[in-house]
Amino acid sequence: MATTTIPTAAPTSTITPSPPTTTLPKTYPHQIPIAIIGGTGLSALPSPPFTPLAILPPPPTPWGTPSSPITVLSYTPPSPSSTTPITIAFLARHGPQHNLTPSEIPSRANVAALKKLGVRVAIGFSAVGSLREEVKPRDFVVAGGVVDWTKGLRGACSFFGDGVVGHVGMGEPFDRKLSGVMYDALSSPADREKKQVVLQGEGVKVHDKGVVICIEGPQFSTRSESQLYRSFPLDPPINCVNMSAVPECKLFREAEIAYALLCMSTDYDSWRGEGEEGVSVEMVMGHMVANGENAKRAVGAILEALGREMEMETEASKGVVGERLRGTNRGAVMGLGSGGDAKAVEAVERLTWLFGKEWVDGKV
């Protein structure tokens, strides 16, 4: 396998992992099948139990540079039945210092950079406001659906365009198999003998098949908006609101990468009665530390479950982490043939960079 080489130009601010970045290489010689996208409350993964292997400076892509350096880490599950280390790529969605608003996140560059590293499975973490009484602050929600309520301020939200048209299905914006593995990992005891749960804290639980409404931000919802979101007659109903699910989920689907989103509730948004305080930064931060600790435990539990899945996978089954999505979108893309104006030629070149020539030529 060819070495993944990343340009050495560094951003203005960097992650400070342990050990120091100066002792870690800036390239990594292997494909990395799993990525973790850190959001508000999860800006890095601790060492131990995660061991940093490399810090890859933000690589250039045809869609710009990603939000942060990409940290390559190794995780060895504590369970005696799963001793094989798992290698992951970690990217901070909002930047190393949380300096990007939701509208400023270079989502296409983030997804493209991870695709180029060989990522086939990505798990996003995101702080959310709860729109339902039963989803308490500090609860976690595995997303099952999304409503796009952004305002078109996020630039291009697709890898297609400029003469190449792609109509990729979004009926299931989050990968069912991956989401199922994630929910099972968090709802089962981390230590089955001691019955120790993954998500700690009194009454903290994980909810399945949540529906997220993604708003533009960076302002929180008005009370009227929050009550409007609750009133939409969906089944299941919208139960949380965030600012980053879109276009991230759409781009991962276009890139043929299985994607799941784990939402971390920090507040009740602004829908409660007139006497109730609306969501504020102080309120969010009050629950952020507890959520962050649970998020780190959640990453370990999910990786252990994915490790078991990988041990059972074969070339024929391709499983949860295998290349089961490769080529699934090719039939939805038009305009990849020869000819076209200069913009179309450049669009084909970008897609060749992302998917490879075989994909563009329809040979997958």
Would you write out the chain's pLDDT as a tens digit for each of its 364 residues?
Answer: 444 443 333 333 333 344 455 589 999 999 999 999 998 878 889 888 999 999 999 999 999 999 999 999 999 888 766 668 999 999 999 999 999 999 999 999 999 999 999 999 999 999 999 999 999 999 999 999 999 999 877 767 999 999 899 999 999 999 999 999 999 999 976 554 445 689 989 899 999 999 999 999 899 999 999 999 999 999 999 999 999 999 999 999 999 999 999 999 999 999 986 666 666 666 667 778 789 889 999 999 999 999 988 888 766 667 888 889 999 999 999 999 866 788 899 999 999 999 999 999 999 8
- Within 13 Å of residue 353, how many CA atoms lie on the same side as its CB? 17
Supply 130's token pair: 């709860």
Question: Annotated binding residue at 89?
Answer: no
Question: Annotated binding residue at 94?
Answer: yes
Q: Is the peptide bond before 247 cis (omega within 30 degrees of 0)?
A: yes
Question: Annotated binding residue at 259?
Answer: no
User: How many Å apart are CA 190 and CA 187, to the nearest integer?
Assistant: 9
Question: Annotated binding residue at 127?
Answer: yes
**What's the confidence (pLDDT) of residue 341?**
85
User: How many Å apart are CA 216 and CA 151, to the nearest integer?
Assistant: 6
Question: Annotated binding residue at 28?
Answer: no
Question: Annotated binding residue at 40?
Answer: yes
Give CA separation, 237 vs 214, 229, 234, in Å: 14, 9, 5
In this structure, which CATH number among 3.40.630.70, 3.40.50.1220, 2.40.110.10, 3.40.50.1580 belongs to the domain 21-326? 3.40.50.1580
User: How many Å apart are CA 65 and CA 279, to the nearest integer?
Assistant: 32
Question: Annotated binding residue at 93?
Answer: yes
Question: Annotated binding residue at 269?
Answer: yes
Please check whether residue 143 is in contact with residue 263, taking contact to mean a CB–CB distance below 8 angstroms: yes
Which tens digit of pLDDT belongs to each residue from 15-68? 334 445 558 999 999 999 999 999 887 888 988 899 999 999 999 999 999 999
Phi, psi of 286, deg, nearest 5: -60, -30
Question: Annotated binding residue at 268?
Answer: yes
